[in-house]
Every structure is written in C-alpha cells, then in structure tokens.
Structure 1
Amino acid sequence: MQIISTSVEQTQSYAERMARCAEEGDVILLVGDLGAGKTHFTQGFARGLELADVPTSPTFNLVCEYRGGRLPLYHFDLYRLESADELDDIDYYGITEGDGVSLVEWGDKFDEAAPDDHLLLDFSVRADGTRVIDVTATGPRAHALAASLEA
C-alpha cells in the first residue's frame, strides 16, 4: 500500500489515526532520508496516544521514552549504531516486546532485529515536496495498523 501526504499536518493526521488503533508491543519501523517526515509522523502518533510531550528527532539519543498517555511510546533512532550487537546495550528487544508502542527510525538498518510482526513505513519525498509513504505489513498486528490508514 502507498499513502500520499501533501503537508506536515496530513502526515501527522495519518499517524494520529494509526495511534488510536495501536496496542502494547506494536513495532513500527520508519525508514527514509533525513527530512522525509519520520519525526513529523512520530509527533502525530504521540498526539494520537494522548501524550503531552511532543517528540523531537532523537538524533543524539538512541531511545526516548514518552509516558502519560494511553500507552507508552518508545522512539528509537538506530542511525548511529554500528552493529546489531549494540541493540542489547539499549534493551531494544526488552522495550519492543514490552508495555508500549515502538517507533524505530532507521529501522531497516538491522533487518535481523525486526520482530516477525512489524509495520514498515518507507518515507520518500517527490520533487514537488509531496511525501510518499510505502506501507508494508508483516503480521496480523501490522496489518491492523496499516488498515487504519485506509479508513
């Protein structure tokens, strides 16, 4: 599936709608170049979880935790990691299998770390500034999240 976004607000609206369907243990991998819309998506997702804090790009943090909403949100940035072995250092597996929803920027960097059931959102930007998000679901929870984008 592919969705098109013509504005930051539309990207955030898609994410907000998806967050309302999110459940504990959901993992969403966010892929795409810098400036493609991954952090804007995360901000809308946080709003959909009724979180007071607005996530920013976690560039200098490997994982940021946001609580106080319907579910905790864990916002990962794997860009600076060199190997999948470093995921253990940040309790990646414990967190992604835990009590909240995990949004993982640069989530395709270590394919072997992706859970069997995850949603992959691949962001790209057209020359006119339009965002294209290619959506790939790999399991029942991921398919349910993807379906929220079609509503």
Structure 2
Amino acid sequence: MVKAGNNLANIKAKLYNQAVTNVMQKVGMPVKNKLVNQFVSPKTYYNYLKNEVIVVKDLTFVQKGEEKYLAIICSMILSRYAYLQYFTNMSRSLKMKLPHGNSNSVDTTAIEIAKKYGPKMLFKVTKTNMTNYKRIKDLI
C-alpha cells in the first residue's frame, strides 16, 4: 500500500473499513452503532475510501475512543495481538528475532534480511515509509 503512494492515515482508513465490513458480515444482522477511533476528519476518512468497492457508512467517529468505549479498546487489543502474532510468525519463519522501532539493531537486522532473502522481503517486515528504511535501502 505504501508503494502505491498511500500514507499511514490512508492505509488505516482502508484497514478500519475492512475490519468493520468483516465484523458486520460475521454478525449477519444490522449493526446499530458502528464506532471507530477518529484519526482524521470523517470527510478525509471517506475521501480515502473513494475507490473502494465496499464502504461502510453511518460510522460514529470518536476522538480518544479507547477512553470512552470498551468496544474500541477491545479492538485495539485484538489488533495489537494480531500485529504481535504476525511479528512472532515472521521471526520464526526468518529464524531471527525482529526488533521493533527505529534503532541500529533494526537497521542491522533489516540489512541481514535483505542480504539473505532479497530486498523485496523488507516489504513484509518493515515500514517502507519510515526514515530507517531509506537508510537501509542506501546500505544494501
């Protein structure tokens, strides 16, 4: 998605929309209240989704929703768990611990991955729109 020119907010909007769509399909009946944690204005959110086939409408955007609604904090916990599981599985597949953040160990590990598996693998394990990715790219 980053390669396609999407910024973090654009990617987040698409992921939120897909998550809400998935939940509504699983529930299998109308959902009265659809809450999302607000990270951009509703106008910008829907603008990011203008090319999507399915767009969930009638959302309630809540600033700092994790402080107000249990559903939002639960969704944040579940998404964090999925993220950590992805990293654990990727670490296992690559047979190395993947560090987080923007440190020298991240750069060193990314260079090692690029040398061992090819630079394209970095798209699966790094945020390619971050500054350390640009440093890494210059070093490989």
Establish whether TM, by shorter chain, passes 0.5: no
Give TM-score scaled by structure 2 length: 0.28
Give TM-score scaled by structure 1 length: 0.26
Higher gyration radius (CA)? 2
Higher strand share: 1
Larger RCO: Structure 1 or Structure 2 (Cα < 8 Å, ≥ 6 residues apart)? Answer: 1
Higher helix share: 2
